[in-house]
Every structure is written in C-alpha cells, then in structure tokens.
C-alpha cells in the first residue's frame, strides 16, 4: 500500500491554532515541554499507533521533543499564559492541593487545547486513513462545547510517565471528543462535544437536530429548544468509575444567544444565576457528590468526592471504560447521521477491536506511551 493524501493539512501548512497559513514559521509543542519533562526523558520515543499502509504494520514513533506542528508566532504567544497556568494546576493536583472552580475552568480550557491539538497534529501525520478536512482548529473549540473532566488516582502511585489513550486512531480522527491522559500518579478523562451535558444540567437544549454533509465535514442544525431548569445527576448516561474529582460545565450556544427561541430561555433566572460572572457562554463548574449537583462560585474549592467513594483501578480498566464510552458515542452518531452510517460502522468495528485488545491487556493499541517503563 502507498501513502494517502487524506487532508489539506498534508498538502499545505496551516496554523494549528487559527487554521490560517502560519506566520514567522513557528512550531507548537502539542504536548508542552513542561509536561514532557515532568513525565520522563524529553528525548524518549513515543508510540502513536501503527502504520496500516505499510507491510508488517510497523509502529508509528516520534521523539517526544520533536512532536511539533506549524503555528503562527502570535497564536503560540496567545496560549503561552494558559500553558504556564496549566502547569501550575497539574503540579498542584499531583501535590494533593485542592483547586478552586476558576482553576478547573481554566484547566479544562487547556484540555480542549491539547485534545484538539492532538487531533490536528495526528491528521497531519496520518497517511493511511482517508479522513475529511478539519472544519475547525484549536481557536474554534476552546471553551465552545459542553465538557467534563474526571480525575483518578493511578493504581501505580509511583508511576512516572505520560500515557495518552484514544487520541491517535481512526475513531479520534472523525470524533475528537474524548481521550484519557495519564500524568504520573493521576489519570484524567476528558470529553467535550455539543449538548453533552446541557439537557441533564437543566439548560436549554434542542429537541430537533439534523446534519448537513459538507466537503469539510458535517454541520449540525438544531431547532425547537426547551429547558427543565433543574439539574438531574448523573449528567452522563454512562457509568465511569467514581472519580476523585469531577468537573462538569455546560457551554451555551454563542451564535444563538439572541435567537427568538433560544434567547428567551437563556434569559431565565436559572441560567443567569449559573453563568460565570462576566462570561457570555460559560456556566459555573458543577460538582456532583452523592448524586447531588453543586454549582460552584469561581473561588469555591472543588473538594474530593466522598460519595460514592472514589475507585482506584488499574489502567486496563480505564481503557475498557473509555472504549465502551466511545462505542456509545458512535452508536448515537449512527442514529443521528444516516448519511455517514458506512464510515461510522467501520469506526465501530475498529473501536470494538481496540476494546477487545484492552480487555486482553494488550497495550500496543491504547495510546501514547513512553518506550521505557517507569522505574
């Protein structure tokens, strides 16, 4: 098999942040240098899946400190302050320091940046799977969609390393919605997509949705909004293991704020009380403890969850849950996007294969890992 030109990103350089032609020939470390240094040898090789278009399906490996992509210098500079703050948040969590809600909000901005950066970066590197051109870049997805972040203790408390799961395979190429990041002794599961939490968190949501097929991918159309104005935990119709910390956040639809059906619903007291101060579309961070939702003021501490008691399980179990969650998303998309059923069925088959490998304890298809085990 030969290499495929699967995206415009392989034919011309685009800034990973804004999507325009990059200025000043800058490069962005999608995985920041501080995180590389925090988790091991900066020169170590990383595994990013297999090359399905090569005989023998060899591994795709890159040096950690060379995993960079085109960026405008101005764009790179815009995100440098977020990187510095995220470094501080991660170091605090590793040191068992409790973070206030405003820092969880900021940390989820960083997870949006990393998740979409990995997506764009892997599209650039992909030469063996046909995929659509990206319809957005980092700028268009940071703090734009509902999101959650779950944090667990690693079952190996002395582990030092970086492990990414679900961020370098065909499912992620089409649905860059969820991934898992292991940073030393902590495990993070992050997801973000449209209307992920909205309805069950009590905010206005559409009763009608349909998709338009376009060259650069599908576009979702929504109509007939309604709202319950009451939170109904659990916010996910899926059972992840009880985490140590959980942060949930609804993002309102910016383009519809003045809409004749959406605008009046957004004006409701429930929504106005739960918006973040001085924010148009961000709502307050919500924690769920013992099936009770608590919307936090920015300076409120997001305490460790006590009910149900957080579970510490090995990474294999987290891999399995992640692949099961992706199957749920794919099955839902199968119902919502009839025109894309062929590709979605193929992705479900691929994800089933990853799930089978995870259950068998085979780690070669579960993400980005150091080549050497931690000492």
For helices 341-359 and 315-336, the axis angle rounded to 10 degrees is 170
Q: Which two tokens stand for residue 53?
A: 């278009």
| Cis peptide preceding 308, ω within 30 of 0 | yes
Q: Would you place residue 373 in the very low, low, confident or very high pLDDT band (cuts 50, 70, 90)?
A: very low
pTM above 0.85, yes or no: yes
Q: Is the pLDDT of residue 211 over 90?
A: no
Q: What is the pLDDT of residue 117?
A: 95
Residue for token pair 């703050």: 85
Across 21-46, average pLDDT? 86
CA atoms within 13 A on the CB side of 375: 2
Q: What is the pLDDT of residue 208?
A: 87
Q: Is the pLDDT of residue 241 over 60?
A: yes
Nearest CA to 325 out of 347, 295, 301, 355 is that of 355
Could you give the 3-state DSSP secondary structure of residue 355?
A: helix
DSSP one-letter code for 347:
H
Please list the residues that pair with 147 across neighbouring strands: 192, 249
Q: Would you place residue 55 in the very low, low, confident or very high pLDDT band (cuts 50, 70, 90)?
A: low
Q: Is the pLDDT of residue 47 over 80?
A: no
Q: Would you place residue 218 in the very low, low, confident or very high pLDDT band (cuts 50, 70, 90)?
A: low
Mean pLDDT in the chain?
Answer: 88
Q: Would you place residue 213 in the very low, low, confident or very high pLDDT band (cuts 50, 70, 90)?
A: low
Nearest CA to 358 out of 166, 186, 173 is that of 166
Which pairing describes strands 217-226 and 205-214: parallel, antiparallel, or unpaired?
Answer: antiparallel
Count of C-beta atoms within a 10 Å radius of residue 118: 25
Which of 13-17, 51-55, 214-218, 298-302 holds the top average pLDDT? 298-302
Q: How far apart are CA 123 and CA 169, in angstroms?
A: 10
| Phi, psi (rounded to 5 degrees) for 352 | -60, -35
Q: Which two tokens stand for residue 84?
A: 């510095």
E strands in 290-352: 292-295
Nearest CA to 253 out of 229, 220, 230, 231 is that of 220
Which of 70-84, 272-286, 313-327, 359-373 has the lowest average pLDDT? 359-373
Could you give the 3-state DSSP secondary structure of residue 181?
A: strand
User: Domain limits of the chain?
Assistant: 14-359
Q: Is the pLDDT of residue 126 over 50?
A: yes
- Residue-wise pLDDT for 270-303, tens only, equals 999 999 999 999 999 999 988 899 999 999 999 9
Q: Which two tokens stand for residue 122?
A: 């892997």
Q: How far apart are CA 308 and CA 200, in angstroms?
A: 20
CA atoms within 13 A on the CB side of 307: 5
Could you give the 3-state DSSP secondary structure of residue 174?
A: helix
Q: How far apart are CA 145 and CA 150, in angstroms?
A: 16
Element (H, E) at 190: strand 186-192
Nearest CA to 40 out of 303, 371, 324 is that of 371
């Amino acid at each position: 098999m030969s290499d495929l030109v699967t995206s415009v990103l392989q034919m011309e350089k685009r800034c990973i942040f804004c999507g325009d032609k990059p200025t000043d020939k800058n490069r962005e470390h999608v995985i920041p240098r501080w995180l590389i240094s925090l988790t091991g040898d900066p020169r170590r090789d990383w595994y990013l899946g297999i090359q399905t278009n090569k005989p023998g399906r060899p591994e795709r490996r890159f040096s950690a400190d060379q995993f960079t992509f085109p960026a405008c210098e101005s764009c790179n500079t815009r995100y440098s302050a977020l990187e510095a703050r995220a470094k501080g948040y991660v170091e605090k969590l590793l040191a068992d320091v409790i973070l206030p809600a405003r820092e969880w909000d900021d940390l989820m901005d960083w997870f949006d940046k990393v998740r979409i950066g990995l997506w764009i970066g892997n599209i650039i590197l992909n030469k063996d799977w046909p995929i659509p051109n990206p319809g957005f870049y980092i700028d268009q997805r940071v703090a734009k969609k509902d999101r959650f972040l779950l944090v667990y203790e690693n079952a190996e408390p002395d582990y030092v390393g970086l492990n990414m799961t679900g961020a370098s395979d065909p499912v992620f190429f089409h649905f860059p919605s969820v991934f898992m990041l292991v940073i030393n002794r902590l495990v993070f599961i992050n997801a973000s997509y449209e209307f992920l939490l909205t309805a069950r968190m009590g905010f206005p949501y559409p009763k009608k949705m349909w998709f338009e097929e376009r060259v650069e991918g599908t576009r979702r159309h929504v109509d007939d909004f309604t709202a319950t104005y009451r939170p109904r935990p659990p916010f996910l119709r899926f059972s992840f293991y009880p985490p140590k910390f959980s942060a949930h956040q609804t993002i309102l639809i910016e383009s519809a704020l003045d809409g004749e059906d959406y605008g009046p619903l957004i004006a409701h007291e429930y929504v106005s009380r739960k918006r973040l101060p001085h924010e148009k579309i961000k709502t307050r961070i919500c924690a769920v403890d013992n099936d009770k939702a608590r919307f936090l003021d920015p300076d409120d501490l997001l305490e460790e969850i006590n009910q149900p008691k957080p579970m510490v399980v090995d990474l294999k179990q987290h891999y399995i849950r992640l692949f099961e969650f992706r199957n749920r998303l794919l099955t839902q998309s199968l119902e919502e996007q009839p025109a894309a059923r062929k590709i979605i069925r193929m992705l479900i088959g691929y994800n089933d294969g990853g799930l089978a490998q995870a259950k068998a304890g085979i780690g070669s298809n579960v993400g980005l890992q150091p080549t050497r085990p931690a000492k």
